[in-house]
Structure 1
Amino acid sequence: MAESASIPVLHSYWRSSAAYRVRIALALKGQPYRSVTWQMAQGEHLQPAYRRLAPFGLVPMLDIDGLRLQQSLAIIEYLEERNPEPALLPPGRAARARARALAQLIACEVHPLNNLRALKRLRAQFGADDEQVGEWYRHWCHEAFSAFEAALGDDDGAPYALGAAPGIVECFLIPQVYNARRYGADLAPYARIDAIARACAALPAFQAASPENQPDAPQPAPVASPA
């Protein structure tokens, strides 16, 4: 049960992979929340109205228990401590350290190189075109996924990264897989990652958190009725 009767507010953007991580965690925890969206593509997150709320100028920001929490990993760890069940971290110090390391491989090693502001800088400062930006993105995805796949090791029949249930690792992995597919990365060499992604795609929590199901996601154009 939540510690407060108030509904948390998630400041988000539909295509932000960091916000996507937190949406997955909230859904896995069964924690209701309200969304407030900021259009990062138009720079709304950099304007004073948002900076007053979140000095980092980034999404997500979770307004919960009288706190304004920033940075996806810190938010997810807070949710885990606040409501330990269902657990996002495995039991045992060694297993928790492994889970955090896999999550941070995504959060700290690949995401900073491939996030929106880095890609914009490639275009603005170095004149990179769409193909060059895509090649940059795919290169760092493959670097991360190769290491991730090797670190997972044998699956022992487990459908998820560290066992029979998804957790913090999937919160970080699935948004990165989504973005890798957007940029045309070949996931065929990563059988474990692909299997984990397919297992997660069947779960309501991951479906609810997906970018296309967010309130600020572009809606498909209506189909015209036949004359």
Structure 2
Amino acid sequence: MTETHAKPLIYCFSGSPYVWRALIMLEEKGLEYEAKWIPRSSGEHRTPEMLALNPRGRLPILRYGDLTLYESVAICHFLELEHPEPPLIPRSAAQRARVLVLTSEANYLDTETWDALLFALGAKNDEAGPEPRRQAYLRLHAEVARWEAHLEHGGHYLAGDAISLADVVVFPGVAFLVRTGLTLSKRTPKLASWYARMLERPSVQASWPPHWRETAGSDAGYDAVE
């Protein structure tokens, strides 16, 4: 699979927050691209051909000319460098620093989300009773509260009044939490307003996970924990 692609080609899972980051980035940059949707259950992402593109067997994978990139944040950074307009990393050192820190902090939200979700799905051992699950949910709420605090500056977006790479990277994870039962307005009204604002962006609507348009979400019970 060494062919050169005239326009970016991205391999996708529907509903993956990591894939969604890259798709939003492509849309925000106004790039024409081709998305190849792979059913997660098909195992196609672990075929020898796909493993030659990403040995970890994960998506997204971006084919950009004769280059192959994987890891969602790396893809977003690459697209920002190749297509600096409109800028999603600010020019000033102070603003740039904030965006990069927030982008990195998204890892903590990912960690707490997946830990809580594993309990919700019954994939973690509950022999110790309900307390480990409760603690996982409390850690998730504490992490979400940190993102509420990041919006205390009063701007429309995480790093100010303009959308940035931080919003692109964080939004899909928050949207995943909402789809799996988190009510933002209950504890985090500023985050709820930010989420609504992001929902209105054409880049988000254009890249909305296909199967989310057709199926309802679930309720993992996050809101029941106080």
**TM bracket, shorter-chain basis:** 0.7 to 0.9
Query: How far does residue 147 in structure 1 lie from its aligned partner after superposition?
Result: 1.4
What per-residue deviation string (whole Å, max 9, x for no partner) do you get for residues 158-215 of structure 1?
Answer: 3222233212111122211211112212312212211111112112111101113xxx
Identify if the C-alpha distance between structure 1 residues 139 and 6 changes in structure 2 by more than 3 Å, giving closer, same or farther. farther
Query: How far does residue 64 in structure 1 lie from its aligned partner after superposition?
Result: 0.5
Provide the rounded CA distance (Å) in 2 between the counterparts of 1:54 and 1:31.
Answer: 23
Contact kept in structure 2, 1:20 and 1:209, CA below 8 Å = yes
> Counterpart amino acid of 1:176?
G
Unaligned runs of at least 5 residues, structure 2: 216-226
Residue in structure 1 matched with residue 157 of structure 2 by the alignment: 160
Residue in structure 2 matched with residue 206 of structure 1 by the alignment: 204
> Counterpart amino acid of 2:88?
L
> Counterpart amino acid of 2:165?
I
Aligned residues: 208
Residue in structure 2 matched with residue 17 of structure 1 by the alignment: 17
Contact kept in structure 2, 1:102 and 1:148, CA below 8 Å = no
Residue in structure 1 matched with residue 108 of structure 2 by the alignment: 109
Contact kept in structure 2, 1:12 and 1:59, CA below 8 Å = yes
What are the equivalent positions in structure 2 for 1:1-227 lying under 5 Å apart?
A: 6-106=6-106, 108-115=107-114, 119=118, 123-124=122-123, 126=125, 138-155=137-154, 158-188=155-185, 189-212=187-210, 217=211, 220=214
Query: How far does residue 134 in structure 1 lie from its aligned partner after superposition?
Result: 8.4
Q: Determine helix, strand or coil for the equivalent of 2:110.
A: helix
Query: How far does residue 84 in structure 1 lie from its aligned partner after superposition?
Result: 0.5
Query: How far does residue 153 in structure 1 lie from its aligned partner after superposition?
Result: 2.4
Q: Determine helix, strand or coil for the equivalent of 1:180.
A: helix
Identify if the C-alpha distance between structure 1 residues 138 and 37 changes in structure 2 by more than 3 Å, giving closer, same or farther. farther
TM-score (norm 2): 0.78
Contact kept in structure 2, 1:20 and 1:175, CA below 8 Å = yes
Same amino acid, percent of matched pairs = 26
Q: Determine helix, strand or coil for the equivalent of 1:8.
A: strand
Q: Determine helix, strand or coil for the equivalent of 1:126.
A: coil
Provide the rounded CA distance (Å) in 1 between the counterparts of 2:9 and 2:34.
Answer: 5
Identify if the C-alpha distance between structure 1 residues 184 and 220 changes in structure 2 by more than 3 Å, giving closer, same or farther. closer
Query: How far does residue 57 in structure 1 lie from its aligned partner after superposition?
Result: 1.2
Q: Which moved more, 1:66-75 or 1:44-53?
A: 44-53
Provide the rounded CA distance (Å) in 1 between the counterparts of 2:11 and 2:135.
Answer: 29
Identify if the C-alpha distance between structure 1 residues 64 and 92 changes in structure 2 by more than 3 Å, giving closer, same or farther. same
Provide the rounded CA distance (Å) in 2 between the counterparts of 1:93 and 1:15.
Answer: 34
Identify if the C-alpha distance between structure 1 residues 219 and 167 changes in structure 2 by more than 3 Å, giving closer, same or farther. closer
Q: Determine helix, strand or coil for the equivalent of 2:53.
A: coil
Identify if the C-alpha distance between structure 1 residues 12 and 134 changes in structure 2 by more than 3 Å, giving closer, same or farther. farther
Provide the rounded CA distance (Å) in 2 between the counterparts of 1:151 and 1:218.
Answer: 28
Unaligned runs of at least 5 residues, structure 1: 222-227
TM-score (norm 1): 0.78
Contact kept in structure 2, 1:10 and 1:35, CA below 8 Å = yes
Residue in structure 2 matched with residue 225 of structure 1 by the alignment: none
RMSD: 3.1
